[in-house]
Structure 1
Amino acid sequence: MKKIYLFILFLIINFGGLAIGSWLMGDAISGEWYSNLNKAPWTPPGWVFGFEWTLIMLCFSVYLSFLFSIRHSRVVVFVYAIAVVLNVSWNYLFFNQQLTTFALVNIASLTLVIFYLFITFRDDKLRYLKYLLLPYIIWLCIATSLNTYVVFNN
């Protein structure tokens, strides 16, 4: 029962973070700055972003509900808090402030934090659940490459 409550809590926090990030982004996607960017040829169509973030946050919430029920500690809370802040702030840095280099440092840091979760918490009970982080890791690698392309080609 505790895992269900944690799952619901993490769904609220994670999707709330996405909503805040979207709000901080404003209307930048339809704006002139983003429209005129030289984007990577492998930039996916817009609908992919909503689909992948939904999948990522569902998987991440399941993983976190098990992680927090097994290893609730200050370190785990701190690492998760850093991940949320980095995830939310990327939209603000990239789209709202157009600070693409700072956004690149931000997303690279987020990637390292999620890799840290993947590598560090791998005891017997989390051995297979850590693979729920793979959609997040894969997306962060793609997003980092997209951000890198923008930094070096604009």
Structure 2
Amino acid sequence: MPVVVAAGGAILLGVVGGLMTPIGSWYANLRKPRLQPPNWLFGPAWTVILGLAAWSAAAAWEAATSDAARMSVVILFATNALFHLLWSPLFFKLRRPDWALIEVVFLWASLVALVVGLWPISPFAAKLILPYLAWVSFAAWLNWAIVRLNAPFR
């Protein structure tokens, strides 16, 4: 059952994130850094990352030896999901990369908290979050570069 819940959560995050990420003319006209990946790469990257996060959640849940540890797993992943869901609407719907740059700090911190919080429960589950942390670190740099190249916003 934890696998089904974790997979469902990852699918929900992916679908909602995708719906909140319209790649229209506004985004296409932004100046972007040279290291900007092609648009087609983001969907597959997020699919792999969220799949690993779901695996991590299920592994951590199974490894948890107490109700308190399971509650920690839920809180850590729920906090991350909240910050995950906030970034795209700020950047794409509101067209405020500057606000998204502030928010990405909280998303990044939620991933560090996941790695640190999961480690005592399951080092394996914590390691599965590392690609997500690496991708968000890179995405934060991209966000910063877009703000630097295009500011001010509204």
What TM-score comes out, normalization by structure 2 length?
Answer: 0.87
2: CA distance between counterparts of 1:121 and 1:129?
Answer: 7
2: CA distance between counterparts of 1:130 and 1:79?
Answer: 11
How far did residue 24 of structure 1 move? 2.5
**Which runs of structure 2 are paired with 1:59-98 in the superposition (5 Å)?**
59-69=52-62, 70=64, 71-73=69-71, 75-98=72-95
Partner residue of 1:13?
9
Partner residue of 2:26?
33
Ranges in structure 1 where 5+ consecutive residues have no aligned partner: none
Percentage of identical aligned residues: 26
In structure 2, which of residues 93, 113, 118 is the aligned counterpart of residue 121 of structure 1? 118
Instruction: Say what the alpha-carbon RMSD is for the aligned residues.
Output: 1.4
How far did residue 118 of structure 1 move? 0.6
Partner residue of 1:133?
129
Ranges in structure 2 where 5+ consecutive residues have no aligned partner: none
**Which runs of structure 2 are paired with 1:52-63 in the superposition (5 Å)?**
52-63=45-56
How many corresponding residue pairs?
Answer: 145
What TM-score comes out, normalization by structure 1 length?
Answer: 0.87
Correspondence 1:147 to 2:143: yes
Which 4+ runs in 1 deviate beyond 6 A?
Answer: none
Alpha carbons 1:39, 1:149 under 8 Å: kept: yes
Instruction: Kindly provide the amino acid, as one letter, of the partner of residue 70 in structure 2.
Output: H
Partner residue of 2:98?
101
1: CA distance between counterparts of 2:144 and 2:26?
Answer: 17
How far did residue 15 of structure 1 move? 1.5
